[in-house]
Structure 1
């Protein structure tokens, strides 16, 4: 497909718009518009969220069922998502949430009682 056909009049504007709208997610144009977040599909985001939730559930289980003398395991780090700054302040993430949530330190203190 030659995009100069649009200038020559042999490719309609509607056809060009349809071609652009249905570009694959990993196309250079999509990466130029959306950055590295274009590389992840909805399925990829859902799988990463599932892995993160399972890691937290396993951490909670281990924290509850540990010996009293042993230390609590380190809170699991989430899978890095494209387009999200990893250096953000952890407390700011909780302040921006639309739902009540607990910090990892609060969960560790609760389960270590």
Structure 2
């Protein structure tokens, strides 16, 4: 930042450096909270776990005798930006469908898969 103050670094270059910080950087965590620590892979893995749990639950419901009570449906894996029961809406900038580079945001993937 001292180089920017002295005029050795342009504002455009500072903005580019900030935009391309890693997702787990302190700036990203401050801007996006816990969601900054979840990559697309983490969202896809959570969706896979949720779908597998639902498939197992459906198999158990179909193959259980009718005298028994049906089992409780599985709870989804908690994701950042949702309330504790997993039914809330995404908050912040992750509620948009596409990111700045045109890729789907982790929030959009979480809503699609979970």
Q: Could you tell me the TM-score, scaled by structure 2's length?
A: 0.69
Unaligned runs of 5+ in 2: 90-114
- Which of 7, 19, 22 is residue 20 of structure 2 equivalent to? 22
Unaligned runs of 5+ in 1: 94-113
Relative to structure 1, is the Cα distance of residues 36 and 60 closer, same or farther in structure 2, using a 3 angstrom cutoff? same
Structure 2 equivalent of residue 72 of structure 1: 70
Question: 1:5-44 counterparts in 2 under 5 A?
Answer: 5-44=3-42
Q: Kindly report structure 1 stretches of 4+ aligned residues shifted beyond 3 Å.
A: none
Q: Indicate the RMSD between aligned Cα atoms, in angstroms.
A: 2.0
Structure 2 equivalent of residue 59 of structure 1: 57
DSSP-derived class of the 2:82 partner: coil
Structure 2 equivalent of residue 106 of structure 1: none
In 2, Cα distance between the equivalents of 1:32 and 1:68?
51
What is the total number of aligned residue pairs between the two structures? 89
In 2, Cα distance between the equivalents of 1:73 and 1:86?
21
Instruction: State the 1:59 CA deviation.
Output: 0.3
Q: C-alpha offsets along residues 91-112 of structure 1, whole Å, 9 cap, x if unaligned?
A: x88xxxxxxxxxxxxxxxxxxx
Instruction: State the 1:87 CA deviation.
Output: 5.3
